[in-house]
Structure 1
């Protein structure tokens, strides 16, 4: 199926808008979503693809965006090249059956266009807002199966943000927790990184 549409904001004259809404795209789409369908979605649509179905991604809050920016600065310092820390960007996995958009990605080398190849990704980072999502189950499995070496989860609590760093165990192809912090603590990053995440600054 080929998709050619704009997402409606519902602000047309009289509250009407001839453009197709994301909800309509999802309701009237027949069968599973393919990689071609996903790539044909209009710009500005916040979704991810997982084995034929779309996952809606809510717009980030101010707190989430601020935490992501501060965290990106620390990761840029740790890797020594701000061009290698980006996000959110599409990462193509499972031969195009899965697309995820981590909050932050640490690359091995620069690339142009989209999507990112997981072989070029050293670390993915997800920032968890109160209430959480699927960062500890489905995303963890997807990133591990894609062979991404490091997975960082940063979670907001009333006492401040805390972090958990997971390393991919090649024998089991699963993540094992490498290190963690208390809320508002600091996380010293291992090789190949050289730096510290100062979580107190995220709030």
Structure 2
């Protein structure tokens, strides 16, 4: 058995804080913080997942009004103990090349493209945490025989929980966080008519 590297040991008995992620140069790319624990994305990424994120970023960027930014794989500092990294997020924050995270108040939409190893976190843990933090919209994208299916949710502010609004196949039309129209079948090369 190999010893745990020193940098992986929490700096305090109660675990890691969200700000600690910026000081962990040794941590693998895409390291998240969930309830004070580091979560590593160490499985190889599937091409479908990578292309879906790229296609969504490009499509949403093309449709976003002025003052709205679309980014991929940047963490959100939800609170002292949680800093998840969604696959894609839409924010009101101006471009800053040195930024390492966003806040829930700046975040209009979070999108998670589900992988086998992330399914539980995307369907339950992150869904709850993003809602509790007050992020208005959440999309979960799943692979259904090579085609994307998008589950959309909207925040019910009084309960701080998400309400499902639709399950989209083939096409997505949404009015929040801005008017969006997506040809879902056209997002993945090789699946076009």
- TM class by shorter chain equals 0.7 to 0.9
Off by >6 Å, runs of 4+ in structure 1: none
RMSD of equivalent CA atoms: 2.5
Q: Indicate the residue corresponding to 1:125 in structure 2.
A: 111
- The answer as to 2:161 corresponding to 1:174 is yes
TM-score by length of 2: 0.82
Q: Which residue in 2 is equivalent to 1:102?
A: 86
Q: Given the alignment of the two structures, is residue 68 of structure 1 paired with residue 53 of structure 2, yes or no? A: yes
- TM-score, normalised to structure 1, is 0.78
- Aligned pairs (5 A) from 1:1-203: 24-25=5-6, 28-29=9-10, 31=13, 32-42=15-25, 44-58=28-42, 59-81=44-66, 84-94=69-79, 96-112=80-96, 113-130=99-116, 132-182=119-169, 185-203=170-188
Matched residue of 1:147: which SS? coil
Aligned residue pair count: 180
Distance apart, 1:63 and its partner CA: 1.8
Aligned residue for 2:191?
none
**Structure 2, unpaired ranges of 5+:** 189-193
Larger CA Rg, structure 1 vs 2? 1
